[in-house]
Chain A
Amino acid sequence: MSAVHARQSPLPLVLSDVSFAAGGVVILSGISLTLEAGPRTVILGPNGAGKSVLLRLCHGLLRPTSGTIEWRGRREGRRPDAMVFQRPVMLRRSVRGNVEYGLKLAGIGASERHAIALQRLEAVGLAHLAERPARRLSGGEQQRVALARAWALDPEVLFLDEPTANLDPTATRMVETIVAAMHAGGTKIVMTTHDLGQARRLADEIVFLHRGRIVERAPAAEFFATPKSPEAAAFIRGELPV
């Protein structure tokens, strides 16, 4: 299932001096960032730092007010990146129907769609709920469906916006396991969180965001052991004023 990675990789994704303002309020400024294939990147920061907006800019849901965002590989039709949001949006259809939706949009035939969907549902442990109406699942189950849905598209990059903020610890662990599995399969992971524990568990590298600016960027071990900036240090201690 990694045939797609044999093509020219769309990474790195390069953001050059990106800023974003809305309604007269500057949310991000001076963002220069290169996302390389390989490490699991966690964008860390307090609430209101601009993490969600940054992710949406990367995924193309928002346009920067200034600056450029460029993928290396040219995109042909289907985009190489997928996204999982804090609140999973389930269509009024079965779990399997939801997982197949992106594939259907991409023009994949019915029997192939079924096969891929069931395989991914198997991988996230929800194959037994395939025909259940998706909206009747618990929050944690719905998020796993959202992951299966993204995974079905075999994305080269997976963006996740605080995916476990609304989930209990068990569901959170399940989501993190799935993310790790996708990474093992070759998908670049870019995830936002304000949860230090989660960042410690999952990150290979940390991008620390505060008040719309990248304050620090370092490999995870280095970041947590010896943060270079006072804001990062305060945040790790749990003392950062927003």
Chain B
Amino acid sequence: MNRRALLALAALGALTAAIPAAAQEKSIVVSSTTSTEQSGLFKHILPIFEKKTGIKVRVVAQGTGQALDMGRRGDADVLFVHDRVAELKFVADGFGVERREVMYNDFVVVGPAADPAKIKGTKDTVAAFKTIAAAKAPFASRGDKSGTHAAELRFWKEAGIDPAAAGKGSWYRETGSGMGPTLNTAAAMNAYALTDRGTWLSFKNRQSLVIVVEGDQKLFNQYGVMLVNPAKHPHVKKELGMAFVDWVTSPEGQAAIAGYKIGGEQLFFPNYKK
């Protein structure tokens, strides 16, 4: 029995020794959203940053709600999300500092090519939502506290409709998941959905879905980057985190963002102003 206990301790010791060794390299944890990661943006811009600074960026991608929660708990160093209202509250509550607007992309409404609600081509998202509700056309919502979900809810509110009350369980389907799974569901159910253009461009399972509404000013989606407040969580890697925040809002970082294209199309538009 003693030999066995010693072996177990040795194994645990080896593991825990390996872990600080991995932590020795310069790295930060960036909490971001699934839609941002799945768009492929990070794969494009992070190598440039890592090459320049030698800092490894570990991106944990979840819904905006979870991403902010991670910041609140201090499990991340930097936040990179797109829900302005929630972000400002985050800073006001003292959890984040140095918030900067870094880029925007836009949302589009996708729907079945057959277009049962007959909204294709309109540039008025609010009107389109009203029509969808009136026609009781199937609509797939993320329902997961994400930035996209928050934007979707704002449209319903402006249209004067409570979608859950009106159609929960019938035409209004809340998937409680990320953008990709929600699009999977929308494609399978021939439903409308609100999605960011980035996820849409790299989404491969479209089936009969096409873009039905785009170009509305209200569909613009602002991204913010900020440092998790080191005053609240002293272990936050302040210098390394700020290096990232500074770079992504620097001319070089902004150019990297603009340089990311899918099929020749630019997804994200840098808009940092000092």
- Physical contact A–B (CB less than 8 Å): no
By a beta-carbon cutoff of 8 Å, the part of chain A in contact with chain B is none
